Structure 1
Amino acid sequence: MADTKREIERKFEFTKASAARRGVPDLTGTAAIAAVCDQGTVDLDAVYYDTPDQRLAADGLTLRRRTGGADEGWHLKLPVSPGVRDEVGAALSDTVPPSLAALVRSRVRHAGLQPQVRLVSSRRLSHLLDAGGALLAELSTDEVLAERGDTTAAWTEVEVELADGVDPALLDSVEKAFRKAGLRVSEAPSKLARALSETDAEPPARPEGGGPEGTTGAHVLTYLREQRDALIAQDPAVRRSLPDSVHQMRVASRRLRSAFKTYRKVLDQEVTDPIGEELRWLAAELGVDRDQEVLLERIQAHLGELPRPLVIGPVRSRLRVWNTTRRSGSRRRALAALDSPRYLALLDSLDALLEEPPLRKRAARPPEAVLPKAVLRDYSRLADRVDSALSLTEGEERDVALHNARKAAKRVRYAAESAEPVLGRPAKHLAKAAKKVQTLLGDHQDSVVAREALRGLGVQATGAGESAFTWGVLHGREEALAERRERELPAIWAKASDPALRSGLG
């Protein structure tokens, strides 16, 4: 079973040989550090694994098998932000543990993992304690020898890693004390990164097609790369069940699909349409559990707002059973999709498109001449759908039309956001207006879905001999909410369709 911990640390190196001879200064009295307790020296032997073209290193990930020390075993380090990484560990074994292999699958795919660098370190460890004897941080001084084939490199590195819950401001105080003693923050984010640099084996740059800088093609492909990278980065987060990870992965897939449609006159649809369909499949496979979670939260929130006399019968237990039944197997389905050859083929297709993009003639033009038309084309589509929905009477047909308008609003929002680096404030304002329309229509659609679920819960309750009264009350409240949203739409749309919002686009 893999264990995870959040690392907040800062690495330092000596600026001069004289400073290295003096060693690490005594940090007693620095900020809240009341004592420095020597923990002795330990020998560490780590072998770092990567693909032959160093895909993990290129994205800032490290995967190692280490012996020696209190936490020997396998460790995968995933970047969170500068100086912050999540370390996922697994027991020592001869081969890469399946739990860790799964977390890097979106990057490794069929390339395979091989030993790349060996780091042998002699580590002197000290504990930095506060006045009450509580651990604030670990201070490590490492004498490192890196081996890559016949090439070697050696250096001394100092690392301060915070204990859980300690204010990161402590690292700033330590850095200030270290600077005075001749140490500076290391330029390398990890030992592996420095080892690769010192042995002339830094990860190669990713191939990036897209035509000359300053063209529409270059702009669109930069946006697509950002979404491709976000999709891949969320993969291990989804596997680890991190909050909001499924949502963010679905957003990346939707943005890619939306961009393919918005920029269909920039990229060949014969290439992008099949990839878009695969992205639709992925979002659907990931969405089963997420959609149910959102639905449950909505029903629970509205149930909690009811006065106690209106809650009749075993309502909450019925809701728990219903939710458990609907979510059963949904996470397995999502993980099965991420482990499938179809998903890996989708990622390969995205890479191939970005490396050899199917650009059309319009891609060579300046983005200022192309992006406004693309965004306004999506806006016209939204306007048609909203006008069509507002012309219908209340009922199922109108609900479907409003849902289609919501999807069109989302596409306008994504298009405007993708164009914002070029078109500036006008695109930003249009994106905000489209988001308001999307949010209102999203709440309306959630009400449609909730009413269908509540009707089913009422039927189940009746079949079990329970009162269906509370489910009916909730259903009525959802109907009233949907009606309010429909009444609010004309005013929201009037602001979003103000010609002044579009006048600055071109």
Structure 2
Amino acid sequence: MADSKREIERKYEATVDTRLPDLTRVAGVAAVDHRGVMELDAVYYDTEDQRLAADSLTLRRRTGGEDAGWHLKFPVATGIRDEIRAPLSDTLPPGLAALLRSRVRETELVPVVRLLSARDVHHLLDSHGALLAELSVDEVRAERLTGGSSTAAWTEIEVELADDGDPAFLDSVERRLRKAGVRPSASASKLARALAETAPKKQRSRKKGATPPPRTAGDHVMAYARDQITSIVALDPAVRRGLPDSVHQMRVATRRLRSAFRTYRKILDRTATDPLGDELKWLAAELGIDRDQEVLDERLRARIADLSRTLVLGPVGSRLRIWSVTHRSGSRRRTVGVLDGKRYLALLESLDTLLAAPPLLPAAARTPQDALPRAVLKDYARLATRVGHALELRPGHERDLALHDARKAAKRARYAGEAATPALGGAAKKFARRMKAVQTVLGDHQDSVVAREALRTLAAQAHAAGESAFTWGLLYGHEEATAAAREQELPAVWARASRPKLRAALEG
């Protein structure tokens, strides 16, 4: 069984002659407990084209020390990583393999580097003997296992914060180390340094040129598409781990990408993007099964919490929990099953193909100022038609459906503006912000529609069980009032979003 640990650490350059300063002079440190030297042997794995290293992921099998086993590390921020651990075994544990699937796919993982480290460990303790941080002086020898057989050796100091420690403590330690002449390491990890220093000479001497900035309309659209595809791949492990908001963010990335394909169909060939759009729609729908229920649960719980206790009649909380569990049962298992399926992996491969050979049309060669506003304003016109149609209808089911269609159009217009912002600047950013305001009003209206359907069901279930349905009816009335308020609010929000000056600024 794998377990997770948030690792917050800093690395520093050292030599075999480096002497540690008196660390009891660091604020909060009462004692330094020298724990001795341990021998560590770690083999790092990656694909031959180093896909994991490209995304700053590390996978190793390590023996020696107190945490021997398989370790998979995901970057969170500078100096912060999530480490997923699994017991020592001869082969990669399935749980860790699943977390790598979006990047590795069917490609074999091979040993790329072996690191032998003599780790001299010191524990920094407070006045109660509690661990503040672990400082180690590591003498490292790296051996290349693929792409050559060169070696490298260095010494470094590593300071890792204790669990639940204050990251500011590391600042205090660093100030003391710097005063003693110790400087931060130029490498983010041992693996990064090993790969750099043991690379073949030709590879080391070949300078990687900077990615040229996007110039044409096609460049900008593909840069946006690349960002969304990167997000989908990167969020896959977070969804599998059940991290907060990960399903929502992955679903948003799929929708943004699909929206870009539809908005910029004069730039990207539809014969290539339409099939991908269909698959992205499928993926978003699968991800939405759990997310939509989660949003609804949160809304109903908040509504109940806002009620006076005297208005909550019967086992309202218990019935909501039972209803929620029934609807969400197995949903996460289903989501993970989708990510393990061949259809999803085939989609990822197709997206890679799109990036490698963009299906650009002649309009892609135009300047962004010429091609992008046209596409954005076409989405705006589509939204205007839907909003106008919805506002002409009388309140009721047909109007609810029309407002929901307008909501989807507002979301597409917003995404179109966001995609164009790097090229068109403030005008596109302001446009996207105004479209988001429209989307928010329409979104709350649609959430109210969905909530009322759920409340009707809950009321019927309560009545059938002999419970009072009063509270469910009361909440239904609150949701009706919310929907009416959003409908009244929409004309003013739409008027701000549809000002001619804003459209003129977007056209340049």
Instruction: Report what 2:506 is aligned to.
Output: 505
Which amino acid counterpart does residue 61 of structure 1 have in structure 2?
Answer: L
Shift of 1:167: 2.1
- Report SS of the residue matched to 1:25: coil
Instruction: Report what 2:283 is aligned to.
Output: 282
Shift of 1:340: 0.4
Structure 2 CA distance for aligned equivalents of residues 164 and 499 of structure 1? 55
**Is 1:4–1:89's contact at 8 Å kept on the other side of the alignment?**
yes
Quote the RMSD (CA, aligned, Å). 1.9
Which residues of structure 2 form unaligned runs of 5+?
A: none
> Identity of aligned pairs, percent?
65
- Report SS of the residue matched to 2:199: coil
Structure 1 CA distance for aligned equivalents of residues 464 and 169 of structure 2? 62
Alignment of 1:261-300 (within 5 A): 261-300=262-301
Shift of 1:213: 4.3
Alignment of 1:157-168 (within 5 A): 157-168=156-167
Alignment of 1:122-161 (within 5 A): 122-149=118-145, 150-161=149-160
- Report SS of the residue matched to 2:25: coil
Alignment of 1:293-312 (within 5 A): 293-312=294-313
Instruction: Report what 1:174 is aligned to.
Output: 173
Structure 2 CA distance for aligned equivalents of residues 470 and 176 of structure 1? 60
Which residues of structure 1 form unaligned runs of 5+?
A: none
Which amino acid counterpart does residue 502 of structure 2 have in structure 1?
Answer: L
Matched pairs, number: 500
Instruction: Report what 2:95 is aligned to.
Output: 99
Instruction: Report what 1:6 is aligned to.
Output: 6
Shift of 1:469: 2.0
Deviation larger for 212-221 or 5-14: 212-221
Q: Give a deviation string over 1:69-99, Cα, whole Å, max 9, x none.
A: 0000000000001110000000000000011
Shift of 1:426: 1.0
Shift of 1:418: 1.3
Shift of 1:68: 0.3
Alignment of 1:177-188 (within 5 A): 177-188=176-187
Which amino acid counterpart does residue 459 of structure 2 have in structure 1?
Answer: G
Deviation larger for 118-127 or 166-175: 166-175
Which amino acid counterpart does residue 494 of structure 1 have in structure 2?
Answer: A
Instruction: Report what 2:46 is aligned to.
Output: 50
**Is 1:230–1:249's contact at 8 Å kept on the other side of the alignment?**
yes
**Is 1:211–1:218's contact at 8 Å kept on the other side of the alignment?**
no
Shift of 1:34: 2.7
**Is 2:214–2:223's contact at 8 Å kept on the other side of the alignment?**
no
Which amino acid counterpart does residue 312 of structure 2 have in structure 1?
Answer: V
Structure 2 CA distance for aligned equivalents of residues 477 and 188 of structure 1? 57
Structure 2 CA distance for aligned equivalents of residues 84 and 251 of structure 1? 25
Closer, same or farther in 2 for the Cα pair 1:253/1:32, shift >3 Å? same
Structure 2 CA distance for aligned equivalents of residues 359 and 24 of structure 1? 58
Alignment of 1:338-487 (within 5 A): 338-487=339-488
When the two structures are superposed, what TM-score results if normalisation uses the length of structure 1?
0.96
Match 1:84 to one of 77, 80, 87: 80
**Is 1:430–1:496's contact at 8 Å kept on the other side of the alignment?**
yes
Shift of 1:152: 1.0
**Is 2:121–2:134's contact at 8 Å kept on the other side of the alignment?**
yes
Instruction: Report what 1:488 is aligned to.
Output: 489
Structure 2 CA distance for aligned equivalents of residues 63 and 160 of structure 1? 20
- Report SS of the residue matched to 1:138: strand
Q: Give a deviation string over 1:465-484, Cα, whole Å, max 9, x none.
A: 22222211111111111011
Shift of 1:103: 0.5
- Report SS of the residue matched to 1:243: coil
Which amino acid counterpart does residue 224 of structure 2 have in structure 1?
Answer: Y
* 1:59 and 2:83 matched: no
Structure 1 CA distance for aligned equivalents of residues 398 and 486 of structure 2? 16
Structure 2 CA distance for aligned equivalents of residues 22 and 447 of structure 1? 65
Structure 1 CA distance for aligned equivalents of residues 214 and 249 of structure 2? 29
Shift of 1:245: 0.5
Closer, same or farther in 2 for the Cα pair 1:484/1:74, shift >3 Å? same
